């Protein structure tokens, strides 16, 4: 892959649940080091789009390319599935996902949670995985919580542990699905700081967020989805400062009222 090859490219993507089409032909490109934020109302298709990128959901039409390599498919329409399980695992490993609900294993310590996938999926040596896990827990500011269990942490600390777990896979890109929406406002700030730090490092990220300040602060590109289509996209200055579509104006004014 050359540096000019996008890390993630979505072309003409469609996704349906039975008769209900939730993504209706979307094109998005994330180049190396880009932060792309997906915004829009509930039900606009943002989280579904992210899950299609990570192959947690099967799309019915269109292409997904990872570092220039297209996903290979078999079947058509609602019967379309990825054709190569090894390709799916490799790509999913390189696109680490951080969920709204932290999805930590309750029976494992925080350190064990972060080490587990590098050992079981990547085949890393235990000592190597532990050193990396401690490094990333330090990075997100909870290095002192290695030996506690998820239930003993605040929501913000659990989400930071989930980010450390994603980083420990050494992914090419990070996918965040509403990473702060389950948190109280003061805990939200802890997680936002970590995401801003990652953006400042030049990590490639795609973020579904309801937080317009976060989208404005960290993004190279903001994509406003409305009913499964891209209504508007551009730099934060363009999308927030020079809004063209009435739908986006209405959405932004409603988020300001609710915020």
DSSP string, 165-199: HHHTT--SEEEEESTTTTS-HHHHHHHHHHHHHHH
Within a domain: 222: yes
Within a domain: 2: no
- Whether residue 91 contacts residue 72, with contact meaning beta carbons closer than 8 Å, is answered with no
Within a domain: 1: no
Note the pLDDT tens digit of each residue in 158-211.
999 999 999 999 999 999 999 998 888 888 999 999 999 999 999 999 999 999
pTM for the model: 0.93
Report the CATH number that the domain containing residue 86 is assigned in CATH. Answer: 3.40.50.300
Residue 134, domain extent: 8-258
Note the pLDDT tens digit of each residue in 9-34.
999 999 999 999 999 999 999 999 99
Nearest to 18 by CA among 79, 95, 98, 84: 79
Q: Please tell me the total count of domains within the chain.
A: 1
Within a domain: 3: no
How much of the chain, in percent, has pLDDT values that exceed 90? Answer: 90
Note the pLDDT tens digit of each residue in 135-156.
999 999 999 999 999 999 999 9
Within a domain: 204: yes
| Distance of alpha carbon 235 from the chain centroid | 19
């Amino acid at each position: 892959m050359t540096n000019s090859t996008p890390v993630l490219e979505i072309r003409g993507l469609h996704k349906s649940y039975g008769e209900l089409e939730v993504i209706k032909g979307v094109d998005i490109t994330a180049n190396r080091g880009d932060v792309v934020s997906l915004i829009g109302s509930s039900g606009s298709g943002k989280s579904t789009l992210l899950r299609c990128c990570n192959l947690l959901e099967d799309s019915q039409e269109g292409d997904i390319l990872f570092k220039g390599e297209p996903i290979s498919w078999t079947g058509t329409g609602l019967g379309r599935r990825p054709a190569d399980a090894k390709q799916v695992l490799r790509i999913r490993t390189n696109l680490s996902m951080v969920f709204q609900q932290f999805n930590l294993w309750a029976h494992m310590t925080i350190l064990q949670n972060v080490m587990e996938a590098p050992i079981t999926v990547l085949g890393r040596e235990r000592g190597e995985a532990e050193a990396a896990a401690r490094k990333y827990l330090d990075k997100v500011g909870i290095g002192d919580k290695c030996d506690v269990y998820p239930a003993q942490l605040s929501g913000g600390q659990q989400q930071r542990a989930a980010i450390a777990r994603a980083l420990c896979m050494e992914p090419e890109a990070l996918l965040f699905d509403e990473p702060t929406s389950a948190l109280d406002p003061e805990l939200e700030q802890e997680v936002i700081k970590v995401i801003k730090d990652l953006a400042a490092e030049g990590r490639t990220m795609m973020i579904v967020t309801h937080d317009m300040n976060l989208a404005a602060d960290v993004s190279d590109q903001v994509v406003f989805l409305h009913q499964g289509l891209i209504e508007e996209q551009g730099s934060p200055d363009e999308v927030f400062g020079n809004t063209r579509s009435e739908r986006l104006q209405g959405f932004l004014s409603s988020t300001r009222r609710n915020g």
